Amino acid sequence: MGWAARFLTAASFLAAGVLFAPQALRLGRSGDGAPAAASRLAHLLAFAIAWGAALWVSSVGASVMFKNLPRHQFGSLQGKMFHSLFNLHVVCSAISVAAFAYLHPWKASSTIERYQLGFLILALGCNLSNLLVFTPMMVEMMTKKYKMEKDLGIGTEVGYSRNVEMAKKSPALAAMKWKFRMIHVLSTLASLMAFGSLAMHSWYLSSKLDL
């Protein structure tokens, strides 16, 4: 199924949901019109997609792939997947920031609402740093490191055991591995900051739900 078909399917289910929640047609909690209702829906969907994608990739997808794929194959796949992932995160984070800022203008916002906007902006900034800075640097270093490892006859194994042993014998590989690890740590910290910001925002959203 192509992306267009998936989008149309999701949109159809979204529209059909009105049949089971007709009160959604009231366009907001206080009759504030279609733009506010659409902004609430856009914010909630964008937030859910960004947080769900981050949780899946970091907690499930990456772990399963690392334990079952040859290391170079795993790294190459991650390099391609992370570019798409952070593109998705940036788009969703930008939608969340724009929608929340529209619903809560700065001058009329409470302190809590301003903190929430700050969390969303922080998540957007961290995702942008991963998309534009850390991921391209990691992919470039990974390509060089993998070339060195192939020349040494490693990289087809699952896990890091042989890589650690060989790095002790090859100063060049050890130096490249250290540089890659530093960028990877910065990328991971940015991802954790973005995920944590969204987690804190989830508490705010849950306080607004009336189930």
Distance of CA 159 to the CA centre of its chain: 24
Model pLDDT, residue 187: 92
How many Cβ atoms from other residues are within 10 Å of residue 140's Cβ? 13
Planar angle of CA 9, 15, 18, nearest 5 degrees: 145
What pLDDT shows up at residue 27? 47
Half-sphere exposure of 165 (CA within 13 A, CB side): 9
Specify the pLDDT at position 160: 65
Beta strand ranges found along 28-161 (DSSP E): none
Q: According to the model, what pLDDT value does residue 86 have?
A: 92
- Nearest CA to 85 among 77, 96, 74? 77
Nearest to 120 by CA among 98, 138, 97, 143: 97
Is residue 53 classed exposed, middle or buried when 0-12, 13-18 and 19+ CB atoms within 10 A define those classes? middle
Please report, in tens digits, the pLDDT of each residue of the chain (211 residues total): 566 676 677 667 766 666 666 665 554 555 566 788 788 888 999 999 998 988 888 778 888 888 888 888 888 888 888 888 999 999 999 999 999 999 999 888 899 999 999 999 999 999 999 999 999 999 998 888 888 888 877 777 776 666 666 666 777 878 888 888 899 999 999 999 999 999 899 989 888 877 6
